[in-house]
Amino acid sequence: MSTPRPKSRRPKSRRPAASVIGGAWLVPLAGHWIDAALAHLASHALLVRVTVVSLRGSAPREPGASMLVHEHGTLGTIGGGRLEWHAARAGRQMLGSRGSAPVQIVDLILGPELGQCCGGRVVLWFERLTREDIPWLQAASDSARIGSAAAIETRFADGAVTRTMRSLPPTAEVTLLRDTGAESLLESLGPQRPPLWIFGAGHVGQALVRLLSELALFDIHWIDSRPEFLPRGLPDCVTTHACAAPVDLLAAAAADTRYVVLTHDHALDYELCRAILRRGDAAWVGLIGSASKSARFRARLRRDGIEPKGLTCPIGVEISSKLPAAIAIAIAAQLLRPSATPKVDTGTAGARACEGGCDGACASCGAPRREDP
């Protein structure tokens, strides 16, 4: 009787061990650091805020940029790279050493000390905060909201910190003052956001507000006649208005407001543009649409006795995609330019040929449409 042969065992292939993916998104600091600190201290005992107070030469962030360091990570950014890594490490050391000074000022030369090629010099203010700081933080937040105070002075002398509310903001976002044996930081209680009114909550409108609200650089008023298109739970920098007659709201807009018009109704778009341009005090007016729409609106405005040179249409930096989110990025990029000056129609052949009122079928109207569905 033959003995059965043992089954051959093929060696198992050895796959490289998969790397563990367990990272998290870096969290931006929306709004002022004081409000973010209040929210964090409600559930955590300690926090260190790091603020750029001055710089010379090239640096990753501007004076006033802040980051909060806590036991689990950071909120916000002072520019990333080695500078931020160094600041986060120093902040964690302050968290673990309650006996150290509550305020530290660090002067860093980015090139020789941190190996960054920016070539600048940055002064950072480190301040440890505990739940004992909640009352003054809340008072500062309330004062900024109701307008009773515009700035706060933090004075560090003889190992103690004192704070004073001021009605006038500093000349700069932050100002570091150094006296004999004392150092003071004078800073604005709230960002001076320029007003931005966005008419329309369709696909592009929602994508644009979602993008700009995270930046918290504008005081956004978002208007649509359809309340179901205006989401809830938006950041503090966004105020929504559900209004059946959006044109009627324009009387409440401040001078030097930026406007973006991208509603679902071309007739409403025109009424808004006409009313905004008639005011004559807008910082910037952008209208979503094609070259054909631009030409028609300009011709109608002139017939109505309004010069349309302040109208930017089409809006957004030049891109090829027609996806709503991509168009929103293009519009945001244009708004974030140092001066959102009107991209006045320079008299392209298409615009000139269509001002007579063609039906959109002529060869010069072949530019891609940018219309919000």
One domain for residues 351 and 251: yes
> What pLDDT, in 10s, does the model give residues 281-297?
999 999 999 999 999 99
One domain for residues 123 and 209: no
Of 296 and 368, the structure prediction assigns the larger pLDDT to 296
* Gap between the Cα atoms of 143 and 188, Å rounded: 11
pLDDT of 346 = 32
pLDDT over 90 (residue 340): no
pLDDT over 70 (residue 373): no
One domain for residues 249 and 330: yes
Asked, for residue 348, whether it belongs to a domain, the answer is yes
pLDDT of 38 = 94
One domain for residues 209 and 353: yes
Q: How many residues does the chain have?
A: 373
pLDDT of 163 = 95
pLDDT over 70 (residue 357): no
pLDDT band, very low/low/confident/very high, at 14 (cuts 50, 70, 90): low
> What pLDDT, in 10s, does the model give residues 53-78?
999 888 889 999 999 999 989 999 99
The amino acid at residue 208 is L
One domain for residues 135 and 204: no
pLDDT of 344 = 38
Asked, for residue 243, whether it belongs to a domain, the answer is yes
Asked, for residue 281, whether it belongs to a domain, the answer is yes
Two structure tokens written together for 224: 């649509």
Rounded to the nearest 10 degrees, what angle do helices 291-303 and 266-279 cross at? Answer: 50
pLDDT over 50 (residue 99): yes
One domain for residues 228 and 142: no
Q: Which of 146, 162, 185 is where one domain is finished? A: 146
Q: Which of 131, 146, 161 is where one domain is finished? A: 146
Of 369 and 126, the structure prediction assigns the larger pLDDT to 126
Two structure tokens written together for 364: 């010069």
Two structure tokens written together for 135: 């009352």
Rounded mean pLDDT of the chain? Answer: 85
One domain for residues 317 and 218: yes
> What pLDDT, in 10s, does the model give residues 308-325?
999 999 999 999 999 999
Asked, for residue 105, whether it belongs to a domain, the answer is yes
The H or E element spanning position 93 is helix 81-95
Tell me the CA end-to-end span of the chain in Å, nearest whole number: 82
One domain for residues 221 and 139: no
* Gap between the Cα atoms of 302 and 365, Å rounded: 20
Per-position DSSP letters for 280-313, written without gaps between them: ---SEEEE---HHHHHHHHHHHHHTT--GGGEE-
Q: How many domains does the chain have?
A: 2
pTM over 0.75: no
pLDDT over 50 (residue 363): no
| Residue 10 three-state SS | coil
What CATH number has the domain bearing residue 207?
3.40.50.720
Asked, for residue 169, whether it belongs to a domain, the answer is no
Asked, for residue 2, whether it belongs to a domain, the answer is no
pLDDT over 90 (residue 196): yes
- Residue 87 CB coordination number (10 Å): 25
* Gap between the Cα atoms of 76 and 61, Å rounded: 11
pLDDT band, very low/low/confident/very high, at 115 (cuts 50, 70, 90): low
One domain for residues 204 and 285: yes
One domain for residues 53 and 127: yes
Asked, for residue 102, whether it belongs to a domain, the answer is yes
One domain for residues 209 and 308: yes
Triad 345, 351, 354: Cα angle to 5°? 150
User: In 167-318, which ranges are E strands?
Assistant: 174-179, 182-188, 195-199, 219-224, 238-242, 258-261, 284-287, 311-312
The amino acid at residue 152 is I
User: Do 131 and 41 touch, CB atoms closer than 8 A?
Assistant: yes
pLDDT band, very low/low/confident/very high, at 82 (cuts 50, 70, 90): confident
pLDDT of 172 = 87
One domain for residues 202 and 119: no
Q: Which residues span the domain enclosing 297? A: 195-365
Asked, for residue 215, whether it belongs to a domain, the answer is yes
Look at phi and psi of residue 76 and say left if phi exceeds 0, alpha if psi is from -120 to 50, else beta.
Answer: left
